[in-house]
Chains A and B, each alone.
Chain A
Amino acid sequence: MDESRPIFIQIAEQIENDIIDGSLPEGGQIPSTNEFAAFLRVNPATALKGVTRLVDDGIVEKRRGIGMFVTIGARERLVERRRAGFAAEFLRPLIIEAEKLGIDIDELAGMLRAERIQS
């Protein structure tokens, strides 16, 4: 866990990542908040807050007496939202650092392509 942001947001993001990469499929059940709390060694109220955030966003839904499930269409919505924030969160810092080092946009694009082939 990183120290800079509330843990419940980090828990919500971890679950979102698992939905995006498919390890938590749409329609599938997610672990209970108590299981998250024990696994991540955090206060259960914190884990509940993280999951509640996803419920409020319509990413997971509560089925009374059974548990929490990933909603249908959740993955697409998450990908869309992450794409919208991609420029500010990832490109902006990249460009600032590149400018600092005197790397122009064409060179940067070339570096991105080269890196892609390597990985």
Chain B
Amino acid sequence: MTGTVVRATGLTKRYGSFTAVDAVDFSLEENRIYGLLGRNGAGKTTIMQLLTGQLFASAGRLEVFGREPAEHADVLRRMCFIAESQRYPEDFTPAHVFKSAPWFFENWDAAFAEQLVSDFRLPMKRRIKKLSRGQLSAVGVIVGLASRAPLTFFDEPYLGLDAVARHIFYDRLLEDYVAHPRTVVLSTHLIDEVANLLEHVILIDQGRILLDRDADEVRGSATTIAGPRNTVEAFVADRPVIGREGLGGLASVTIDGRLDQRDRIQAAELGLELAPVSLQQLIVHLTGTDLAGSTEQENAA
């Protein structure tokens, strides 16, 4: 049985004349892993701060567990937000952080936290301000996982974590999510690393939602076609182009759309190269500067 955990309608956040979040509509379903993706300054963190009651919306409606999140303790108690640069009291050690965690998170699992501490080789008695960047990130990741909050946000949680530590995070997240399903929102730039963990992808750009789709639908939904310019252009003529690159007489064009078996055979017969587009590449195409250029060309044509 699944329910809707978050429902946002026309959600807007303005800072003076700058609109950080621009009338977005979306919902988050229970017990799914979401990827909240987009470039720096796209509005991801602002959205998460709105959802966790750290900011008040300028306009629109927002329901988290059926209520406005801000100033509702019963809603806030069910959420955990791990920020990019999480702050802790000056003189705390990781041991202090984990000891006080059960006050904030009713599902806190101390044994799981202990296992994670040893996985990440985190020094428990060192003061927070003496920890390395990666160790500080590990503290946040451990709090985020062991709190088992029904709605957990990880906002770029792994600054300074090496590849091994990041994979420990992915593995533990997946294992624990299977044993204790909950809603997880991952915001990250390391898209290719997390792509397979995600069930659903929400892509934000300039405060608006550009894409809100099942990860499975997104995968393989775009293809790059490369070859002699005229042949490529003829092949993509009536298809939605999202990216275009060229070098002399050669062109490489990315389209948003699946190719069927017949298209593939036709492309092979024309001598065109087909390449899959990863989630990360797709997002680069959708939010990159080449998009504006190509749509203008489209409109002019």
A58 CB to closest chain B CB (Å) equals 22
Interface string of B205-233 (1 = CB under 8 A from A): 00000000001110110010000000000
- What residues on B are CB-neighbors of A8 within 8 Å? 216
A50 CB to closest chain B CB (Å) equals 10
- Stretch in A36-44, A63-71, A110-118 with 4+ CB within 8 Å of B: A36-44
- Stretch in A14-22, A76-84, A88-96 with 4+ CB within 8 Å of B: A88-96
- What residues on B are CB-neighbors of A34 within 8 Å? 178
- Are B178 and A88 in touch, CB under 8 angstroms? no
Given A1-B196, A45-B199, A46-B196; A37-B261 close (CB under 8 Å): no
- Are A100 and B271 in touch, CB under 8 angstroms? yes
Tell me the complex Cα distance, A2–B284, Å: 19
Q: Which of the residues B175, B215, B216, B265 comes within 8 Å of A92, measured between beta carbons?
A: B265
| SS of B interface (majority) | helix
Closest to B274 in A: A4
Q: Which of the residues A4, A5, A37, A96 comes within 8 Å of B174, measured between beta carbons?
A: A37
B77 CB to closest chain A CB (Å) equals 26
* Interface residue? A6 (CB, 8 A): yes
Given A49-B216, A88-B261; A41-B178 close (CB under 8 Å): no
* Interface residue? A7 (CB, 8 A): yes
- Are A44 and B268 in touch, CB under 8 angstroms? no
- Are A5 and B220 in touch, CB under 8 angstroms? yes
- Are B174 and A6 in touch, CB under 8 angstroms? no
* Interface residue? A3 (CB, 8 A): yes
Given A43-B197, A44-B177, A45-B32; A6-B268 close (CB under 8 Å): no
Tell me the complex Cα distance, A7–B278, Å: 12
Given A6-B216, A7-B219; A41-B278 close (CB under 8 Å): no
- What residues on B are CB-neighbors of A2 within 8 Å? 276
Interface string of B152-182 (1 = CB under 8 A from A): 0000000000000000001100110110000
* Residues of A in contact with B (beta carbons under 8 Å apart): 1-8, 34, 37-38, 40-46, 49, 88, 92-93, 96, 100
Nearest 5 pairs between A and B by C-beta? A4-B276, A3-B276, A6-B216, A42-B196, A3-B278
9 contacts between A and B (CB under 8 A): A38-B175, A38-B178, A43-B196, A43-B215, A44-B174, A44-B178, A46-B199, A93-B268, A96-B269
Q: Contacts A5-B276, A38-B178, A46-B216 given; 8 further ones with Cβ under 8 A?
A: A37-B178, A41-B171, A41-B174, A43-B33, A43-B174, A43-B199, A46-B199, A92-B268
